[in-house]
Structure formats: C-alpha cells, structure tokens
Structure 1
C-alpha cells in the first residue's frame, strides 16, 4: 500500500471526474489520500470531499500565497476546525519567496500561528517552503524551542542544510514527482541520504506530474512513479519503500486510521 500524503482534490482540475480519480488511486494501491487546504475560508469544500470518500482525509490551513488574504486567522479558529474527524493535519503553511504572492511578514505570522495550533492539537503541520531555507530554518529552531510539534516539509526542493535540520528536529521530508525529473540528481542524492523513518511520498496533484506523465495533470495514482524513483535512489525495493513511507505516514498523520486497525 502507498499513501498520497499531499494532494489538492478540491481544485477545479478534478471537478468533473473526482470519483474516477479516487478509483484510479485505489486501483493503483493508494490506500489513503490527504487533500490539503490552501485557504481556511474554503475549508467546507475539503470537508465535503473528505466526507464523501472513506479513504480521503484533509487538513486546514493557509498557504503562504494567501497569507495576506487570511492574515489574522487565530490559533483558536484553527484548533476549532481540527475537531472534525476527517481533519488530520494543519497547513499547508510556511514561506514562499519564489513567487512573492504573500508578504514575508504575513507569511511568517501565519507560519507561527499554524505551528502553535499544531503544538496545541498534536496534529502534524504540513509546511510549504520555497526559496526560503534560512528563514524557515530560523523559525523552526525558534518555535521548537518553545515546545515540540510535528511536521513535514512537503514537496521538498530545498538545500541539504535545511533538510538535515528538519530531520534533527524530528520532522519529515515529503517528495513529489520533482524527484523523477532528469535534472533532479541533487534531490535524489539527498533523498538517498535521509533516514528511512523520515521520508514520505506525495503528488501535490494536480501539479508536478512525475516524469512518465510530464506535462499532464497529476493525480494521486501517480504517486507510484515517485515511489519507484525513491526506491531506486535509496537502493531498496519498491515494496520496501511502500512499506516504509506508509508506516511513516501513519506515524505522523496519527489521526488517520490504519486499514489494519479494523481487522
């Protein structure tokens, strides 16, 4: 079994065939999917999907691109929204200095607010960080000193230093189809170096389709291709990487019930 730990099933790209997309994921052996929030104010859309499919869960949070738009959302509001049984994580929140869609100050405020909510609830935080390694690392150090929290740096494309800092702090690293791209040698080398109990696979669908499907809309079933490349990079079998990343997922996203729990 595999898990797509990060996708966006509420995006318009899937509106016309969501049932088919989820069915293809199931047929490919993807047993759980987490559809990730980008706007707290649109949480209802994610809950409708998560309630519709037994194997789909969701998060609640504000993407850094929307940090100014949702500046001021409180810790208490986030915590209240996590009480829904299908909300298994906070985020995605963090820092994105690539597109500059959100001011740095609002991004940092939102990031710290989501960390506080993760610390309070015990749920994992899905962290988005791009072209912001130094500031992200600084915030992680400061916030972890205030009290432990759980998190994953999703769709990792940053440097080795931030990845190793995150792992040292007990966090996880998520890999997308970018890992399969021809020019991703450095990323594959980093993926090979990380501890086996700190790695996850994801799609970030509908974006970042793996090399085999480059140029097409991504979807959760394609996480299989990323897992294959991760296994090759680490010199292990596909079955082993499936087992390890799935085990890691259920350890981090502990609110999501394991299929074996009902047995």
Structure 2
C-alpha cells in the first residue's frame, strides 16, 4: 500500500458539503494517510481547526491569504495566536503575496505577510507560502525577515530552479500540485526533477488545480497520487520511494504523528 500525505487542501470548502465523508473515504482508500487543511482567513482557519478536531488524520494551518489581507481586522494577529494554540494546528498559512489578482493592495499584502512571518517565528511554527507572480518581492521579504528554525513550504511552486535552490537553502520544502502534471508545464516539471528528494512535498490544493487525468472535475485529496506519480516519473524513481520520502518530509516539517 502506498502511503501519501496531502500537504495542502481546503476541505472546508462548500464544494464538499454534499459528499465530504465519501470524499474522505476515497482519500483513505487511495492511501492518503494525513491531510493538512489550510486556512486563508479567520473564518476558514476556524473551520480548519474544526475539521482537525473531527478527523484525527486532518491537521490545520491558520493564516490570512494575500487576497484577504485588505480585510484582516486589527486584532487578526491576536486571533491567529489564540487559534495556533488549538489542538491539531501545525502551521501558519497560507500567507504570502499574490500579484496576479491583486485583490488586496500590494503594500497591505506585504505588511500582513511580514507580520505573519513574525508570528510564526514567535510561535515556532512552520509557514506555508503562497506566491503568485510575486517572486521578487517574496524573496526580498524572506531574505530580510527569515522564517525561523521551524522552516516552511513553498506551496504549489511555480518559480525557477534558482529560486527553488535559494528557498531550500533558507530551510523551505518545495511542494508541487496538479499543474506539474499538465503537458505544457515545462518549468514545474524541470524544477520537480531537480529538487532534492529530502526537500520535496506533494499536495492537491483541493478543490482547485485538479491533476491532468481528472482535469475539469473538482479536485480532492485522493488525486494527490497523480502528482506523486508524475514526479516519480520525472525523477526516475518508483512511486514507493517518492511516496515514502514525501510522507517523511511532511511529517518532519509539520511534526505529524505516524498514522500507520
């Protein structure tokens, strides 16, 4: 049996309201032993905590996504700090910058990002970084602020090999999602092939970014296997070796218990 960890999902999304139990059952049958459910604002962070309390194989991350940075209340850091003490919370995320949609002013995105990096350092938690069309500013902030010894993960990585190499030197893991399976995804494939196995994670970002074999359908954690299969092929490894490494990496980063 192949065991995998989906290191980034949003299973509190309303798209799962009708069949959440069945979806989770499919994930378990597909070999997904643990899932990190990632918040993007205060409400979704609270829902992630609720899912972690309900299901022993789900863990939560709490944070403010750059899309929601402009709506963050004044006391958001205090509320995230309190949430981080709840059982099952293993990271601050997803946080970062998004210059593709620019749903929040860029200066606000940067301020909220840096404040949450500081919170993660204070709490000794890893960070989950969202970076879309903001590579330069992301790296400038990370160089100046740092992430602390708990490390972090570059979620759904879309940068260059040079960026990945610098991120790994900072203490980051590099995670890939469904786009690495797309036929025209030349750069993600090249980077995934080169990332050291000890620094690699796999994810779905469900319900988004469905892998190629299921493209056009709602994504779900069971499909993380397609991501793992693609990367294993790119690296010339067996699925068993890739799965074992990424599972160990996720456990190490997030401090997860063994689940089998």
Give the TM-score normalised by the residue count of structure 2.
0.95
Whole-Å separation in 2 of the counterparts to 1:10 and 1:147: 29
Equivalent position of 1:242 in the other structure: 243
Superposed, which structure 2 residues align to 1:18-167 within 5 Å? Answer: 18-70=20-72, 72-144=74-146, 147-167=148-168
Superposed, which structure 2 residues align to 1:181-260 within 5 Å? Answer: 181-254=182-255, 256-259=256-259
Would the aligned equivalents of 1:115 and 1:149 in 2 still touch at CA under 8 Å? no
Match of 1:259, SS? coil
How far apart are residue 200 of structure 1 and its match? Answer: 0.2
How far apart are residue 162 of structure 1 and its match? Answer: 2.0
How far apart are residue 112 of structure 1 and its match? Answer: 1.0
Whole-Å separation in 2 of the counterparts to 1:147 and 1:247: 21
Worse-matched range after superposition: 198-207 or 154-163: 154-163
Give the TM-score normalised by the residue count of structure 1.
0.94
Worse-matched range after superposition: 103-112 or 211-220: 103-112
Would the aligned equivalents of 2:65 and 2:130 in 1 still touch at CA under 8 Å? yes
Would the aligned equivalents of 2:45 and 2:60 in 1 still touch at CA under 8 Å? no
Alignment RMSD (CA, Å): 1.4
Worse-matched range after superposition: 240-249 or 109-118: 109-118
The count of residues paired between Structure 1 and Structure 2 equals 258
Gaps of at least 5 residues in structure 1 are none
Gaps of at least 5 residues in structure 2 are none
Worse-matched range after superposition: 127-136 or 38-47: 38-47
Whole-Å separation in 2 of the counterparts to 1:74 and 1:217: 31
